Amino acid sequence: MSEIYSLERMIKIAIELSAEKNFDRLMSKILLEAMDICHCDAGTVYVLEDEFLHFHTMFTKSKGTSIEEQNSGNKLPPVPLGRKNVCACSAIDNKLINIPDVYESNEYDFSGAQKYDAITGYRTGSMLVIPMADEKGEIIGVLQLINSLDKDGKTIPFEKAFEEIISALASLAAVSLNNHRLAEEVNNLLHSFVEVMVDAIDARSSYNANHTRSMVRYTDKFVEWLRANNDDWKFTDDSKDAFLMSIWLHDIGKLIVPLEVLDKPDRLGGLKAGLKSKIEIACLKEKIRSLEYPAVGGECEENIIKLKKAWEAIEAANTAGFLPDEKLDELKSYASLICKTADDKEVPLLDEKELEAITVRKGTLTDSERAVVQSHVSYTARMLEKMTFKGIYKNVPFWSGSHHEFINGKGYPNHLSGDELPNESRLLTIIDVYDALTAEDRPYKPPMPAEKAFGILGNMRDDGQIDGELLAKFIASEAWKK
């Protein structure tokens, strides 16, 4: 094994280890490379956690099955850091240990290996144990190799020549493991942040958190449907995670929206109590006037009847799903009815704000309130742009901030259109609208049947607002089913 060969091999291995993102595959590559270099039959990678060496990857060539099969269901107990196990000694002392034959060694306790041999019929002979230390010298695991083999397949001691290159591999492995852990910690931190934000929205507005969770569920099922049907739109595990992240965060801007607007259950909202009190006082003042001036008793009674009739109409309209023209005209006719206040001032039954609120044709929000709610999209983009999203997550702020854009340019807040909106933004819009229509926990409207919701989405498609091809796939996937 020449130095040139070793250097080239190590460079190649280093590149492969640094490129591997999957933790289990990384462990397997480390072990297989070490076993290949040493021409040995078996090996184990231990990972150090909480004062224990945990079995992560084990492989024995002579078993005749793949490394994946041998590791499936592996539930071996961890090895405590103590002097009873050679792998633990290697970690404690940060020392490479090369044993020609474990049955002839008195330096370490190999009773565990010998018991394993008795049960399985395997013969553990030579052993090379290498601590895996990162760039700071901290032990993060142990690489244990068993039974080096000659060209005829006979067990021989591990050559001293292997020690240096395997130690270098162990160092590379340790750095790769450490980098993987750091990346995983950052990723976990990001996902924890998302959970905190969703919980914060949940604490303010329970229906909105359900909305987000439902969208994530629909999208997860839809992406799996795309995979199963070998669709042209390919999702890797990473791209799926990034897209789901954008959905988790798409309504984060609603943390800024006043709750009385965000959760407004009816048209009048906080104005209702004041309006009811105004009418009650006005009716009471009419009764007092009729007692003081019996000659106008009939007029007072007529005014009371008008006010009560107006209040009945207002209460009915307050929670109605849709108000036709004739109902709007009726409500407007009541606006000018005179109400006397407690200090005998005369005021109209409905002031400008009350009239604007109660005459909202559909939904509960006035134009100004709707603008406030719509501003959550801008807040979402602004909040996420202040964070650093890189790599697979670099598009999360854009996707999250464009879920109310339409491909005909008539959406908001930036009136994007056509090719400015990638598939992720288009799908997010479709799923957002679908769940908003069919949600069962909105305080201001009953849930809409799926068929009717798809009818509305079909109209939006025909108007050029949403992507018809994506809508058809979403419907066909049945990912929307509860």
Residues 407 and 421: beta-carbon distance below 8 Å: yes
Q: Which CATH superfamily is domain 3-183 in?
A: GAF domain (3.30.450.40)
Class of domain 205-259+368-477: mainly alpha
Question: Rounded to the nearest 5°, which phi and psi values hold at 99?
Answer: -110, 115
CB 183 within 8 A of CB 174: no
The answer to whether 427 and 480 are in contact (CB under 8 A) is no
CA distances from 53 to 28, 42, 81, 143, 383 (A): 17, 18, 7, 11, 42
Tokens 């076993």, residue located = 35
Q: What is the DSSP letter of 465?
A: S
Cα–Cα distance for residue pair 289/469, rounded to 1 Å: 68
- Tens digit of pLDDT at every position of the chain (482 positions): 434 445 676 677 777 766 666 777 877 888 898 898 889 999 999 989 888 999 888 899 998 888 888 887 677 788 898 888 889 999 999 999 999 998 988 888 787 777 878 877 889 999 999 998 877 788 988 999 999 999 999 999 999 988 888 888 888 778 777 777 777 777 787 788 888 877 777 777 766 668 888 999 999 999 999 999 999 998 998 899 999 999 999 988 888 888 888 888 899 999 999 999 999 999 999 999 999 999 999 999 999 999 999 999 999 999 998 999 999 999 999 999 999 999 999 999 999 999 999 999 998 999 999 999 889 999 888 888 888 888 888 999 999 999 999 999 999 999 999 999 999 999 999 999 999 999 887 766 778 999 999 999 999 999 999 999 999 999 999 999 97
Q: How far is CA 125 from CA 32, 48, 64, 116, 297, in A?
A: 19, 25, 19, 13, 113
User: Using CA atoms in the order 191, 193, 195, 198, what is the torsion angle rounded to 10 degrees?
Assistant: -130
Q: How many residues does the chain have?
A: 482
Which pTM value belongs to this model?
0.66
Q: Give the contacts of 229 (CB within 8 A, at least 6 positions apart).
A: none
For residue 100, the model assigns a pLDDT of 94
Domain spans in the chain, listed from the N-terminal domain onward: 3-183, 205-259+368-477, 265-364
- Phi, psi dihedrals of residue 64, rounded to the nearest 5°: 80, 10
209 and 248 Cβ atoms separated by less than 8 Å: no
Question: Is the CB of residue 472 less than 8 Å from the CB of residue 480?
Answer: no
Alpha helices in 359-395 (DSSP H): 367-385
Please report the DSSP string for 59-82 in residue order.
Answer: EEGGG-S-HHHHHTT--PPPEESS
Helix axes 450-462, 468-477, angle to 10 degrees: 160
| CB distance 26 to 177 below 8 Å | yes
409 exposure class (CB count in 10 Å sphere: 0-12, 13-18, 19+) = middle
Identity of the amino acid at 458: G
